[in-house]
Chain A
Amino acid sequence: MLYEAMRLALQAILRNAFRSFLTVLGIVIGVAAVIAMVTVGQGSTDQVEADVATLGTNLLMIRPGQPSRGPGSGVGGSAASLTLKDVDAIEQQIASVAVAAPSNARSMTAIFGNVNYTTTVTGTDNRYLTARDWDLASGRSFYESEQRTGSSACILGHTVQEKLFGNGSPLGANIRLKQISCRVIGTLEVKGASSFGTDQDDIILIPIKAFQRRISGNQDVSMIYASIRSGISTEKGKADIESLMRERRRIGPFEEDDFNVFDMKQITSMLTGITGVLTGLLSAVAAVSLLVGGIGIMNIMLVSVTERTREIGIRLAVGATEGQVLLQFLVEAIVLSLIGGLIGIVLGLALGLLGSRLLSIPFAPDATIVLAAFLFSALVGILFGYFPARRAARMDPIEALRHQ
């Protein structure tokens, strides 16, 4: 009987193929939206986590300025800058810190031959490579003497290397940064995009002393990277650094910090939190769309029941029970919304794939959500198909047969 009902349902649906398609469009859009959203949301969460892993989960970043503004907020102008002495103090005096590296960056145009390329020039030293767990692809890191004297040696990120040199080897070449001529001594491994969407490989490293003397013209360090020893929590490392920095910057017990220690874990949870909220909101919108889709199915099933009054009368006359007629129309509604659900799943996964490609994040289809969407569309069919089916089942056979 169930098989017969399914056969009849498919027949009835195909008989009005275009109307059936329009009917299930609501379900299609709802399911596709949920699946695309969750897929892209999951993909970006995965991406953030992967990024943080490339940055190092045990990495803390110290910047001058008021705290708790997030990584994108500007540095407070009034706060005293950090210095190279701070870097050494953090590395040497705090047991939980494995290595600390200074960093000061500026956007500049690099020129090689007739190619101009604007990139970020970062003044630092070899400890930066250790802290960020970043290997060289070719060449060498800075000599101790280069770091000490601030000579013009530079290490290129992969993007810069490609822009300026294409496939050729940049080692030993001289590039120009403003008025400085700088010899390329090494290139960095590919790191990829960061969680904030910036290209981490779009970078040139030069010794911090060279940066201070020839680019910034002061002794400032704008950011210190500190990597925490493995086995020690970043919370502990962060607390250690904060207390040392308060002491070094002579902040009274009741004064606020005038510096800021970022924990990559906090940034991760913040970003995934935002993604989660967005996914939730859009899923709610999609759920409304499913509801509207369900109402559409109920509407068209009511029309269908009315149109087929005579057919129902015939079925009742030849001995169909109420339950058999109910089953037929209920199955039709369920099949209809399942077809919508299946189209929606395919469309949603396709959109998710497209979205993942466009945002260059991993494609992360979630089997649970696909299954849930499938079951939910079946549920919509049952909920919104029941009322029209019951109306069909309760028809008076005499009236129904008389219906024209």
Chain B
Amino acid sequence: MNTAPASASRPLIRLQGITKIYGSGDAEVRALRGIDMDINAGEFVAIMGPSGSGKSTAMNILGFLDKPTAGHYFFGGAAVDHLSRDQLALLRRNFLGFVFQGYNLLARTSALDNVELPLIYQGMAGSKRRQLAREALAKVGLQGREDHHPSQLSGGQQQRVAIARAIVTNPDVILADEPTGNLDTARSHEIMDLLTDLNRRDGITILMVTHEPDMAEYADRMVHFLDGRIESDNNNNKVANDAV
């Protein structure tokens, strides 16, 4: 873990009255209408909801890619809702990892180079970078494929490269946006096992958007969005059952 901003007493992430409004006047769209949510370090949260419910907007704000119109976002206890673009970039670089539905790997670039990317922006020396990237690829089960380009890898393998890129900086949080959306069922479960493993073994907090209930089952908490509000926020039944 990085110098984790979280402490045991307070949540890693706290959203207070987060509102996001796009456009103005008649064209005004209220994507988020006051979100309150705490996420503790080490949680695996599935975010669900129909399209237009605001879950993507919430993920963008949680991932420091967007700023709320109103409300407060505390990350590790520090308010981050009015930081500059570059300060948010530094937060992404040091504390977050992203996994997307479409993998978002650099084309015509080897798996190793893709995984090294965040470390380049951290200014890490080349040899150290390559070592960490190899370790991350080994962790997701892709040792021996370091020199493969995305076009030479299957969808599941590409998503593994993306996960390796997300964990190579040893982040506090992984934000996964429909990580299994492009994969068949078998591959989807492999990816979910991998994410669960990272959550359980390395204590990485995972926020995952999905609309597949099967995948949401892996999480220990499910948050449902509807019309820019949180409709429900439950501990996962499965976890509850396991606990019984």
Mark A residues whose CB is within 8 Å of B: 1, 4, 15, 310-311, 313-324, 397-398, 401
Contact = CB atoms under 8 A, between A and B. Distances in A.
B121 A317 contact: no
Interface of B: 60, 63, 65-66, 85-86, 89-90, 92-94, 96, 98, 100, 104-108, 117-118, 120-123, 165, 169
A317 B92 contact: yes
B104 A310 contact: yes
A317 B108 contact: no
B90 A318 contact: no
Contacts of A324: 121
Nearest to A317: B98
Nearest to B168: A318
25 contacts: A1-B120, A1-B123, A310-B104, A311-B107, A314-B104, A314-B105, A314-B106, A317-B92, A317-B98, A317-B104, A318-B92, A318-B93, A318-B121, A318-B165, A319-B89, A319-B92, A319-B94, A319-B121, A320-B121, A321-B121, A322-B86, A397-B65, A398-B60, A398-B66, A401-B100
The 5 closest A-B pairs by CB, nearest first: A319-B93, A318-B118, A319-B92, A321-B86, A321-B89
A313 B108 CA distance: 16
Contacts of B118: 318-319
Q: Is the interface of A mostly helix, strand, loop or mixed?
A: helix
Given A319-B90, A321-B86, A314 B121 contact: no
A310 B108 CA distance: 14
Nearest to B96: A319
A316 B60 contact: no
Given A319-B118, A322-B86, 14 more contacts: A1-B120, A311-B107, A315-B117, A317-B65, A317-B98, A318-B92, A319-B92, A319-B122, A320-B89, A321-B85, A321-B86, A323-B86, A324-B121, A398-B65
A322 B85 contact: yes
A397 B98 CA distance: 12
A310 B105 CA distance: 9
Contacts of B123: 1
Given A319-B89, A323-B86, A314 B117 contact: yes
Given A324-B121, A397-B65, A15 B165 contact: no
Contacts of A4: 120
Nearest to B117: A318
Contacts of A319: 89-90, 92-94, 96, 118, 121-122, 169
A315 B123 CA distance: 14
Most chain B CB atoms below 10 A, which of A4, A313, A322, A397: A397
Most chain B CB atoms below 10 A, which of A15, A314, A315: A314
A397 B63 CA distance: 11
A398 to B, nearest CB: 5
Most chain A CB atoms below 10 A, which of B96, B107, B120: B120
A316 B92 CA distance: 9
Contacts of B104: 310, 313-314, 317, 401
A324 B98 CA distance: 19
A50 B65 CA distance: 71
A318 B88 CA distance: 11
Nearest to B165: A318
B80 to A, nearest CB: 14
Contacts of A15: 108
Contacts of A310: 104
Contacts of B105: 314
A393 to B, nearest CB: 9
A1 B96 CA distance: 21
A4 B124 CA distance: 11
A15 B108 CA distance: 9
A348 B110 CA distance: 39
B117 A321 contact: no
Most chain B CB atoms below 10 A, which of A1, A15, A319, A322: A319
A345 to B, nearest CB: 31
A324 B118 CA distance: 12
Nearest to B94: A319
A314 B114 CA distance: 10
Contacts of B121: 315, 318-321, 324
Nearest to A15: B108
Contacts of B66: 398
Nearest to B122: A319
Contacts of B169: 319
A317 B105 CA distance: 12
A4 B120 CA distance: 8
Contacts of A318: 92-93, 98, 117-118, 121, 165
